[in-house]
């Protein structure tokens, strides 16, 4: 056996270094996939354990397959590196993209996982076989496995502490892809002598390296692109406030608002939603003078209200000043709201709706003829409070004699238990609910409730003298009709201290698709 030379030592070190990188990258891809899975599919415990299980078994598969690789070990090793670099490096971007375009991302996610796992599983045995010349088995196994495990440790520390917070998923995966490709490139150079087609491999490695490095540099924009994809249409404005993420997209004439990724309106059909929300309530009261709007920081409900000459004052309570400022000031958005938020009749209050009404009552504030409750869907406990009996009692107390409240109440079709729970809760709060619904194409069949202290029939005529696109007297009457398969359900009342509605909502929507929620 010839004595090892200096360059043999250098090679051995490079190989051990690549073990480290491979192990780190492997685990990073696994963590990225698991995180993506829990972001996109929910339920992190299930997603994490599935991903880990599938990944480890794919690694086992790779190790087993390694026995079929008998020739040109160095070439294969570099090829495997390049496959991991490309698939792993692009994994996060691909999943984001896939989420926007595929009916289910699960197959994509698991394909990525299986490919990367198998390749990583193949890699270590190959490496060991490459390195075995000139070393005793016990030393070899000890070194390779030690570096392998150190790599895993490194990854598990880097991922939560640095990568996720500072780079985000898309750029982190590009970064590790680039590192993988870098190792492949270095190996291709150092092992030139042992390669069957050194130039071709070198060129391939260089190409992958450059491609991934450029993607890494473009990563920032790609993240926007990925977000775009999530939103189907080009993102126009994306702003993170203290409370939520506001995103506005535009495609042609269609402008859409998303809160935390959930659609709030599409400019193509929002008139259906907002006309249905506002005018039945106005018609029900007659000629309201004082109106309170809870939520509705986009000013679209206010726009419909201000069409009525009788209205002298609108108090609009929305949690997020970023939202009301955006819709008051942004030149692309003010045409949508017709400048309602700068109308002298309207006052914006940035506060929690429950707290505001409670304080209004404690102050002995004047009652309202119409109260419009247009809040995000009850998908969490802090929003669920705003659909509780206690809240509706407060609202009832803030209504003027003969006053009318109108509540956006989720979808009676997609979330029937949630919808009827709102209706029952209003009734339990001593209000007379009159349920109705309208077809808003971008949401589906959407539900509202008119509520008043006294018992009255639904309004029959739309108010005169206002320009309407959707409502007519005939349509108005039809809104209060529910087909046989949408009968009222016998569900519980939503109390502040049990918040059964939040459970109904979760279950209703989980039964369809987590993507169809319209929440905040």
Partner 1 sequence: MHDFRVLELEDALGGTARGGELPRSRHPLGAHYLPRPEPRFHALERLLEDLGVIIGRDPAGRAEYAPSTIVAASVERHQLDRIWYAGISPEHGATPAEQAEAERWYAHLRALDREGPDGRRQFTLPSWRASAALRELDAISMRDYLQRLGVTSWRLRWEIDYACRDDYGCTLEQTSAYAALHHFLARGYDEDRPRPLLAWPDGNAELTRRMAARLGYIAAAPVDPHARVRTRAAVVSIDPDRGALRAVLRGEDPEDPGELVELSARAILWAAPRFVLPYVLTARGRDPLAGHRGPAMSYSPWLVASVELLDRPGGIGSPLAWDNVPVQRDNLGYVVATHGEDRSDTRPGAVVTYYEPLTAETPAVATRRAELLAGDLSRWSDHVVRQLAAMHPGIERQVTRVSVTRWGHAMIRPVPGLLFGDALARARAPIGVVRPCATDVTGLALFEQAFYSGVEAAEEALARLGRGAASMIP
Report the alpha-carbon angle 514-441-378, nearest 5. 40
Q: Which member of 355, 456, 460, 461 binds partner 1 (CB under 8 A)?
A: 355
Residue whose CB is less far from partner 1, 269 or 358: 358
CB-based contact 339:366 (threshold 8 Å): no
Give Cα 138 distance to the centre of its chain: 49
- Give alpha helix (H) positions in 231-287: 270-285
What is the DSSP track for 472-503? -HHHHHHHT---GGGPPP------TTT-HHHH
What is the spatial distance between Cα 269 and Cα 95, in angstroms, rounded to a whole number? Answer: 30
Starting at the earlier edge strand, list the strands of the sheet with 313-317. Answer: 346-349, 313-317, 290-295, 368-374, 399-408, 444-452, 432-440
Residue whose CB is less far from partner 1, 40 or 501: 501
Q: Which member of 242, 344, 467, 485 binds partner 1 (CB under 8 A)?
A: 242
Q: Which member of 134, 234, 430, 483 binds partner 1 (CB under 8 A)?
A: 430
CB-based contact 30:49 (threshold 8 Å): no
- Give 386's DSSP letter: G
CB of 45 to partner 1, least distance (A): 8
CB of 121 to partner 1, least distance (A): 31
CB of 315 to partner 1, least distance (A): 16
Residue whose CB is less far from partner 1, 270 or 318: 318
CB of 368 to partner 1, least distance (A): 16
What is the spatial distance between Cα 206 and Cα 474, in angstroms, rounded to a whole number? Answer: 69
CB-based contact 377:259 (threshold 8 Å): no
Q: Which member of 351, 400, 477, 489 binds partner 1 (CB under 8 A)?
A: 351
421 binds partner 1 (CB under 8 A): no
136 binds partner 1 (CB under 8 A): no
381 binds partner 1 (CB under 8 A): yes
Q: Which member of 245, 313, 361, 516 binds partner 1 (CB under 8 A)?
A: 361
211 binds partner 1 (CB under 8 A): no
* Whether residue 374 lies in the annotated active site: yes
Q: Which member of 358, 427, 445, 506 binds partner 1 (CB under 8 A)?
A: 358
Residue whose CB is less far from partner 1, 105 or 396: 396
400 binds partner 1 (CB under 8 A): no
> For residue 486, what are the contacts with CB-CB under 8 A and spacing of at least 6?
412, 413, 416, 437
Q: Which stretch binds partner 1 (CB under 8 A): 98-106, 176-184, 330-338, 384-392?
A: 384-392
Q: Which member of 49, 192, 382, 478 binds partner 1 (CB under 8 A)?
A: 382
Site for partner 1 in 462-501 (CB under 8 A): 495-499
CB of 347 to partner 1, least distance (A): 17
Q: Is the dihedral of CA 10, 16, 22, 25 positive or negative?
A: negative
Residue whose CB is less far from partner 1, 243 or 251: 243
Among 223, 217, 261, 260, which residue's Cα sits nearest to residue 93?
Answer: 223
The active-site residue out of 374, 445, 454, 473 is 374
Q: Is the dihedral of CA 251, 257, 263, 264 positive or negative?
A: negative
CB of 34 to partner 1, least distance (A): 17
CB-CB neighbours of 124 under 10 Å: 21
Q: Which stretch binds partner 1 (CB under 8 A): 27-35, 112-120, 358-366, 403-411?
A: 358-366
Distances in Å between the Cα of 401 and the Cα atoms of 255, 368, 452, 453, 454 are 39, 9, 9, 8, 9
Report the alpha-carbon angle 403-407-411, nearest 5. 150
391 binds partner 1 (CB under 8 A): yes
Q: Which stretch binds partner 1 (CB under 8 A): 55-63, 216-224, 269-277, 375-383?
A: 375-383
CB of 262 to partner 1, least distance (A): 16
Q: Which helix (H) or strand (E) holds 315?
A: strand 313-317
Q: Which member of 152, 239, 390, 486 binds partner 1 (CB under 8 A)?
A: 390
CB-based contact 103:195 (threshold 8 Å): no
Q: Which member of 502, 504, 517, 519 binds partner 1 (CB under 8 A)?
A: 502
Q: Which member of 106, 393, 439, 488 binds partner 1 (CB under 8 A)?
A: 393
Residue 489, Cβ density class (10 Å: 0-12 exposed, 13-18 middle, ≥19 buried): middle
Q: How many residues are given for the chain?
A: 520
In whole angstroms, how large is the CA radius of gyration of the chain?
30
Q: Which member of 22, 115, 183, 319 binds partner 1 (CB under 8 A)?
A: 319
CB of 359 to partner 1, least distance (A): 9
Residue whose CB is less far from partner 1, 70 or 497: 497
Q: Which member of 397, 402, 444, 458 binds partner 1 (CB under 8 A)?
A: 397
Q: Which member of 385, 417, 434, 517 binds partner 1 (CB under 8 A)?
A: 385
243 binds partner 1 (CB under 8 A): yes
What is the spatial distance between Cα 344 and Cα 140, in angstroms, rounded to a whole number? Answer: 80
CB of 30 to partner 1, least distance (A): 21
CB-based contact 409:422 (threshold 8 Å): yes
What is the spatial distance between Cα 353 and Cα 391, in angstroms, rounded to a whole number? Answer: 9
Residue whose CB is less far from partner 1, 411 or 499: 499
Among 260, 245, 166, 205, which residue's Cα sits nearest to residue 514?
Answer: 260
291 binds partner 1 (CB under 8 A): no
Show which residues are catalytic: 374
The residue ranges that bind partner 1 (CB under 8 A) are 242-243, 319, 350-352, 354-355, 358, 361-362, 381-385, 388, 390-391, 393-394, 396-397, 429-430, 453, 495-499, 502
């Amino acid at each position: 056996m010839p004595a090892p030379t200096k360059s043999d030592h250098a090679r051995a070190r490079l190989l051990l270094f690549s073990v480290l990188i491979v192990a780190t990258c492997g685990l990073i891809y696994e963590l990225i996939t698991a995180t993506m899975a829990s972001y996109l599919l929910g339920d992190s415990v299930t997603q994490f354990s599935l991903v880990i299980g599938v990944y480890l078994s794919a690694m086992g598969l790779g190790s087993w397959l390694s026995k079929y690789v008998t020739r040109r070990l160095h070439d294969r090793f570099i090829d495997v590196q390049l496959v991991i670099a490309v698939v792993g490096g692009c994994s996060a971007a691909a999943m984001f993209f896939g989420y926007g375009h595929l009916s289910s991302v699960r197959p994509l996610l698991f394909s990525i996982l299986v490919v990367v796992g198998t390749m990583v599983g193949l890699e270590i045995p190959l490496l060991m076989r490459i390195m075995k010349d000139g070393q005793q088995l016990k030393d070899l196994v000890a070194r390779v496995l030690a570096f392998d495990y150190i790599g895993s440790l490194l990854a598990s520390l880097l991922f939560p502490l640095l990568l996720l917070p500072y780079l985000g998923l898309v750029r982190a995966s590009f970064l590790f892809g680039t590192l993988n490709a870098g190792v492949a490139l270095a190996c291709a150079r150092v092992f030139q002598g042992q390669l069957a087609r050194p130039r071709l491999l070198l060129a391939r490695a260089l190409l992958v390296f450059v491609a991934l490095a450029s993607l890494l540099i473009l990563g920032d924009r790609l993240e926007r692109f990925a977000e775009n994809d999530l939103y189907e249409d080009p993102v126009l404005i994306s702003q993170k406030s203290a409370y939520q993420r506001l995103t506005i997209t535009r495609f042609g004439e269609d402008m859409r608002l998303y809160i935390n990724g959930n659609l709030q309106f599409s400019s193509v059909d929002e008139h259906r939603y907002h006309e249905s929300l506002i005018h039945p309530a106005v018609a029900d009261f007659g000629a309201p003078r004082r109106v309170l709007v809870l939520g509705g920081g986009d000013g679209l409900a206010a726009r419909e209200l201000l069409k009525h000459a009788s209205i002298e004052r609108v108090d609009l309570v929305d949690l997020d000043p970023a939202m009301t400022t955006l819709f008051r000031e942004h030149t692309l958005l003010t045409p949508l709201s017709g400048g309602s938020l700068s109308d002298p009749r309207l006052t914006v209050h940035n506060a929690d709706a429950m707290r505001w009404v409670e304080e209004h009552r404690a102050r002995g504030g004047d009652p309202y003829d119409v109260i419009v409750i247009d809040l995000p869907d009850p998908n969490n406990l802090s929003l669920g409070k705003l659909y509780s009996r206690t809240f509706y009692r407060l609202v009832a107390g803030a209504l003027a004699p003969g006053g009318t409240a109108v509540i956006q109440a989720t979808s009676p079709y997609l979330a029937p238990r949630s919808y009827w729970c709102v209706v029952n809760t209003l009734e339990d709060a001593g209000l007379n609910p009159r349920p109705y619904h309208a077809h808003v194409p971008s949401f589906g069949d959407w539900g509202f409730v008119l509520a008043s202290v006294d018992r009255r029939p639904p309004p029959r005529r739309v108010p005169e003298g206002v320009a309407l696109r959707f409502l007519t007297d005939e349509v108005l009457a039809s809104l209060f009709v529910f087909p046989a398969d949408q009968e009222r359900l016998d569900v519980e009342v939503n109390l502040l201290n049990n918040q059964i509605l939040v459970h109904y909502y979760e279950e209703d929507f989980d039964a369809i698709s987590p993507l169809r929620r319209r929440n905040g």
